[in-house]
Amino acid sequence: MTVTDNPVASFHDNDQHPVGFGRMLRKEDPRLIRGKGNFVDDVQLPGMLHLAILRSPYAHAKILGIDVSAAQAHPNVVAVITGADLAEQGLAWMPTLSNDVQAVLATDKVRFQHQEVAFVVAEDRYSARDALELIVVDYEPIDPVMDVRKALEPDAPVIRDDLDGKTDNHCFDWETGDAAATDAAFAKADVVVTEDIVYPRVHPAPMETCGAVANVDQISGQLTLWCTSQAPHAHRTVYALVAGLPEHKIRVIAPDIGGGFGNKVPIYPGYVCAIVASLVIGKPVKWMEDRTENLVSTGFARDYVMRGEIAATSDGKILAVRTNVLADHGAFNGTAAPVKYPAGFFGVFTGSYDLEAAYCNMTAVYTNKAPGGVAYACSFRITEAVYLVERIVDCLAHELDMDPAELRIKNFIQPDQFPYTTKTGWVYDSGNYEPAMRKAMDMIGYDELRREQAEKRERGELMGIGIAFFTEAVGAGPRKDMDILGLGMADGCELRMHPTGKGVLRLSVKTQGQGHETTFAQIVSEELGIPPEDLEVVHGDTDNTPFGLGTYGSRSTPVSGAAAALVARKVRDKAQIIASGMLEVSVADLEWMKGSFQVKGDPEKSVTIQDIAMKAHGAGDLPEGVEGGLEAQICYNPENLTYPFGAYICVVDIDPGTAHVTVRRFVAVDDCGTQINPMIIEGQVHGGLTDGVGMALMEIIEFDELGNCLGGSFMDYLIPTALEVPDWETGHTVTPSPHHPIGAKGIGESATVGSPPAVVNAVIDALKPFGVRHADMPLTPSRVWETMQGNHTPPI
């Protein structure tokens, strides 16, 4: 190992109690390592019932009838509800986050395999499951539309005949960039490379599946919903809009969440079913998915069929990138992205390069697959964008016979070009790409690896070195551009100091493992100079936190992190006025000493923030016009996204006899601007790198022609174990964001975005002796071997 950023030895003598930024052990951990977390399935209420959902065995079928009598007769069953029952209440359909509708329970027909058809509420979870076997549904199968390329053929069965006047499977068209300018750039190019690139459907598969406990108080009408939600406030408002429940009577609590990765952003039919059941029955109702339900019905990711084109001069100056995308959105458009961005932030497909022109044209279609699309730490489709550009740049390097690192460096946006407006209109806030790239190359010993590779090729051994350089766009987002279902993407934050100088910080965002309770305490600690352990972070409960849009798209630090810093500054500003009264000097004569105000030039005269907090609540007069107490609130509207970036290098070895790929090393140099807690940042990166190995080598949600999902359990949906991944080597550079109050950028999804192309590029590099320029994920042994034989086929 060449990196010593976080050697084991350093854990004994690290500073575990910093004031402000730095490595700090997590405030979440003491409960979690004792098994004392409180996850949704841990919630037990008196009289609680259990809900189980009957799902369709068909991908596309008319429902002719449902007989629930046998299920209802089961001694432990309390209720059996069908789509027809919900339709009577006007609850059979619900809006998706993309202004489409989705069936809560199917009424007319089922549109994907495992779609929700009916539910049972029983006294225990075993009986609920048993009763599903007793429901008889009469289906009339319809040909399913499973091949995205055939979805728009004139004779394709129409999936969304629930929509007025719908006569085809077209979902939407979208374009960005300048088609004419791009054509012109291509026309003058010396080299044009075209490649068909598929990013297959994958699934976030957090270890905790989705679930909810709904409890409607029969007297007050108050609904309390414990729910696996990454966005409790947004969920509450949507329930108010869908079910017509008064919003002040809804309390959404997202307790400890066992991983989200985007899977827990949408509202699923199961949540609505639990709410309806509790409303109807008058008792608390729990619904927890099993693993198959999670994999086959909840928010999938990707499913983009892309044609990438790149134009360059013969000496490797990239002129333009063009792409045409066919997007499979499944049976309902459940994309969780800002409404003006139906393709998410795919528009950043121009990558980290200074181009003359770029253009993308996209067609999205409905198929008989589960809905979703934006999930799995994708930063609103930046995974797809970065994969496209980093793959096509490697294809160009292949054609030009140029080193892929040098080709990238030659085309980077230069430091003096920031803020940089891309040809698709994104304003990159800050960047300094070449030092990150060089650092990664130094860490991994790039030149030495190329020499080793050359020697191995002589011997017929297959070794590959893959590079990816990415720029992310995270922290949605400015409310002039970005909203979800009309809700602006700004975040509230409240800070209240207690008289003794301790404080409580209330966040709208919600950790699913990212460590908000620690990171956000550190942000306020940095601003107020008090120990992070003196700050309690409250989050995940809509009754006790200000409104905000939630944690996804790496937005917590860029948006709520800024809010936390600014709310602390508001408190500090008020504290300064109180201090001026305490020290009997003017506000301007005070200087902030990270924890205390001191009279300029007189270190003997100072008051601590704790003294000030007591004064704010204590006896005696305050300066004129100052109210008592020391607290503030804010709603932060970001002026721009933040643009973290990184340089990743992966080394793989392929067994020439079996085509089995081993990831030998992986170096990740990330730049997320100012670092708040390097330990947590490193952890975020490690997890994302593992995702990348998974997607590149093994993860896929496949379907057969009949619409059967082939990846419906962890026997078939393979996630890397400790044996498939190397000991991660990480480094960083620091290029602060100019518009974020502390210069921080998001980091949660960088590695998931950046690592798949690094792994794939490494495999393709290893296969260079076979003349291979591209192969699609997942690069299973069989797919690699077939590629070596010249028989590569796309996975979909």
| Contact present, 63 and 138 (Cβ < 8 Å) | yes
Please list the residues that pair with 230 across neighbouring strands. Answer: none
List the structure tokens of 516: 């908000």
Tell which one of 15, 34, 219, 619 touches another protein (CB under 8 A).
34
The reply to whether 257 sits near another protein by the rule CB under 8 A is yes
- Residues forming beta bridges with residue 110, ordered by sequence position: 61
Query: Does residue 514 touch another protein according to CB under 8 A?
Result: yes
What secondary structure does DSSP assign to 530-585, as a single string? --GGGEEEE-SBTTTS-----S-TT-IIIIIIHHHHHHHHHHHHHHHHHHHHHHTS
Q: Is 25 in the site for another protein (CB under 8 A)?
A: yes
123 touches another protein by CB under 8 A = no
Q: Which tokens go with 181?
A: 């300018």
- Measured from the CB atom, is 27 or 160 closer to another protein? 27
- Min. distance of Cβ 624 from another protein in angstroms? 49
Given candidates 89, 414, 544, 782, which one binds another protein under the rule CB under 8 A? Answer: 782
Chain position carrying tokens 């902030």: 592
Does position 18 interact with another protein (CB under 8 A)? The reply is: no
Q: In whole angstroms, what is the distance from residue 215 CA to residue 278 CA?
A: 6
Nearer to another protein, 330 or 513 (CB): 513
> Given candidates 62, 125, 170, 450, which one binds another protein under the rule CB under 8 A?
125
Q: Please report whether residue 723 would count as binding another protein according to CB under 8 A.
A: yes
Q: 278-298: buried (b, 16+ CB within 10 Å) or exposed (e) per residue? A: bbbbebbbbbbbeebbbbbbb
On whether the CB atoms of residues 471 and 325 are closer than 8 A, the answer is no
Q: Does 299 bind another protein (CB under 8 A)?
A: no
439 touching another protein, by CB under 8 A: no
Binding-site member from 88, 180, 721, 790 for another protein (CB under 8 A): 721
- Give the span between the Cα atoms of 132 and 498, in whole angstroms: 53
Q: Which of 261, 271, 287, 304 binds another protein (CB under 8 A)?
A: 261
Applying CB under 8 A, the site for another protein has a residue count of 81
For residues 43-62, which are near another protein according to CB under 8 A? 44
Query: Among 147, 175, 183, 786, which residue sits at the site for another protein (rule: CB under 8 A)?
Result: 786
The residue from 383, 690, 750, 761 that contacts another protein (CB under 8 A) is 690
Q: What x-and-dash track marks residues 78-117 binding another protein by CB under 8 A?
A: ----------------------------------------
Window contacting another protein (CB under 8 A); options: 393-401, 542-550, 721-729, 757-765:
721-729
Residue 626 identity (one-letter amino acid): V
Q: Is 264 helix (H, G, I), strand (E, B) or coil?
A: coil
Residue whose CB is less far from another protein, 36 or 149: 36
2 lies in the binding site for another protein (CB under 8 A): no
Strands 661-671 and 602-608: unpaired
Contact (Cβ atoms closer than 8 angstroms) between residue 777 and residue 761: no
Q: Measured from the CB atom, is 40 or 358 closer to another protein? A: 40
> Binder to another protein among 218, 313, 414, 658 (CB under 8 A)?
658
For another protein, give the closer residue by CB, 20 or 200.
200
* Residue listed under structure tokens 């075993």: 126
Contacts of 784 (CB under 8 A, 6+ apart): 654, 659, 660, 661, 763, 767, 775
Quick one: 649 or 679, whose CB is closer to another protein? Answer: 679
Q: Cβ-count burial of 360 within 10 angstroms (0-12 exposed, 13-18 middle, 19+ buried)?
A: buried
For another protein, the closer of residues 781 and 794 by Cβ is 781
Residue carrying structure tokens 């086929």:
793
163 touching another protein, by CB under 8 A: no
Stretch that binds another protein, among 303-311, 335-343, 520-528, 725-733 (CB under 8 A): 725-733
Q: What is the smallest separation between the CB atom of 789 and another protein, expressed in angstroms?
A: 8
Query: Residue 198 corresponds to which tokens in the numbers above?
Result: 């598929």
The residue (of 176 and 294) whose beta carbon lies closer to another protein is 294
CB of 700 vs another protein, minimal distance in Å: 8
The b/e string for 27-50 (b: 16+ C-beta within 10 A; e otherwise) is bbeeeeeeeeeebbbebeeeebbb
Report the chain's terminal Cα–Cα distance, integer Å: 38
Q: Which of 95, 629, 781, 794 binds another protein (CB under 8 A)?
A: 781
- DSSP labels, 229-251: -S-HHHHHHHHHHHH---GGGEE
Which of 2, 33, 187, 600 is in the footprint of another protein by CB under 8 A?
33
Among residues 384 and 729, whose Cβ is nearest to another protein? 729
Question: With CB under 8 A as the contact rule, which of the stretches 154-162, 251-259, 333-341, 603-611 interacts with another protein?
Answer: 251-259
Select 44 or 220, whichever has its Cβ closest to another protein: 44
4 part of the interface to another protein, by CB under 8 A = no
Pick the piece of the chain touching another protein (CB under 8 A) from 87-95, 567-575, 758-766, 783-791: 783-791
Three-state SS at 507 = strand
Q: Structure tokens of 323?
A: 């792409």
Minimum distance, C-beta of residue 679 to another protein, in the bound complex (Å): 5
Residue 133's contacts (CB-CB under 8 Å, 6 or more residues apart) are: none
**Given candidates 410, 724, 738, 794, which one binds another protein under the rule CB under 8 A?**
724
Whole-angstrom distance, CA of residue 256 vs CA of residue 12 = 28
Q: Does 37 bind another protein (CB under 8 A)?
A: yes
- Angle at the Cα of 247 (from 245 to 250), degrees rounded to 5? 80
Nearest alpha carbon to residue 485 among 235, 270, 249: 235
Residue 463, SS3 per DSSP: strand
Q: Of 356 and 702, which has the nearer Cβ to another protein?
A: 702
Answer yes or no whether residue 686 interacts with another protein by CB under 8 A. yes
Exposed / middle / buried, residue 342 (Cβ in 10 Å: 0-12, 13-18, 19+): buried
CA distance 640 to 378: 19
Question: Minimum Å distance from CB 645 to another protein?
Answer: 20
415 binds another protein (CB under 8 A): no
H/E stretch holding 116 reads strand 116-122
C-beta of residue 362 within 8 angstroms of C-beta of residue 174: yes
Residue 715 touching another protein (CB under 8 A): yes
Burial 609-636 (b: 16+ CB within 10 A, else e): bbbbbbbbeeeeebeeeeeeebbbebbb
Nearer to another protein, 94 or 649 (CB): 649
Q: Where are the beta strands (DSSP E) in 297-436?
A: 300-301, 304-312, 318-328, 357-365, 372-373, 420-421, 427-428
Indicate the residue among 35 and 154 with the shorter CB distance to another protein: 35
- Interface residue with another protein among 207, 219, 588, 619 (CB under 8 A) is 207
Position among 515, 540, 707, 757 found at the interface with another protein (CB under 8 A): 515
Using CB under 8 A, which of 387, 446, 469, 728 touches another protein?
728
